[in-house]
C-alpha cells in the first residue's frame, strides 16, 4: 500500500494564479481531510469529506474548494492565490469507525505564493 500520496511536493505560484493539489489514498478510507500548517502552528483543518460526494468546511476554508468524486481522491483547489496561502498542505485519511480512528497523512505539499 502506498498510503496517502500528494502531488506536487513543491510549488511556487504568483498572486492570482490557481492550482489544484492532488491527494490519493489506497486504504479505502471513507474520511479524507485537508490541513494547512503555518510555521510554529499546529495543523488547521481546511475541508474534510466523509465519503464520495460529501464535503464540508473545516476551520479555515476561505480561498479553497474541494470535491470528492471517488473514495480514493480528494483534490484541493486554490483559486486566486494570495500570499496568505503560503503554507505546507497535508492531506489525510481515516476510517474513524474502527480502532483508534487515527488519521494517516501524506508527505505534504509546500506552497509559496509570491
Partner 1 sequence: DQQVKQNSPSLSVQEGRISILNCDYTNSMFDYFLWYKKYPAEGPTFLISISSIKDKNEDGRFTVFLNKSAKHLSLHIVPSQPGDSAVYFCAASGGTSYGKLTFGQGTILTVHP
Q: Scanning residues 24 to 43, which ones bind partner 1 (CB under 8 A)?
A: 31, 33, 35, 40-43
User: Does 75 help bind partner 1 (rule: CB under 8 A)?
Assistant: no
Site size for partner 1, by CB under 8 A? Answer: 26
Longest dimension (CA), the chain: 43
Choice from 76, 78, 103, 113 touching partner 1 (CB under 8 A): 103
Q: Among the candidate windows 16-24, 61-69, 75-83, 88-96, which touches partner 1 by CB under 8 A?
A: 88-96
Q: Which grid coordinates belong to 30?
A: 471513507
> Does residue 102 bind partner 1 (CB under 8 A)?
yes
- In this structure, how many other beta carbons lie within 10 angstroms of the beta carbon of residue 99? 8
CA separation, residue 40 to residues 36, 66, 107, 111 (Å): 12, 26, 18, 16
Amino acid at each position: 500500500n502506498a498510503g496517502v500520496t500528494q502531488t506536487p511536493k513543491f510549488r511556487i505560484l504568483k498572486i492570482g494564479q490557481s492550482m489544484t493539489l492532488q491527494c490519493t489514498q489506497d486504504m479505502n478510507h471513507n474520511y479524507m481531510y485537508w490541513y494547512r500548517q503555518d510555521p510554529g502552528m499546529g495543523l488547521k483543518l481546511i475541508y474534510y469529506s466523509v465519503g464520495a460526494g460529501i464535503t464540508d468546511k473545516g476551520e479555515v476554508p476561505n480561498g479553497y474548494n474541494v470535491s470528492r468524486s471517488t473514495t480514493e481522491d480528494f483534490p484541493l483547489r486554490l483559486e486566486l492565490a494570495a500570499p496568505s496561502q503560503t503554507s505546507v498542505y497535508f492531506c489525510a485519511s481515516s476510517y474513524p469507525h474502527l480502532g483508534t480512528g487515527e488519521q494517516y497523512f501524506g508527505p505534504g505539499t509546500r506552497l509559496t505564493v509570491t
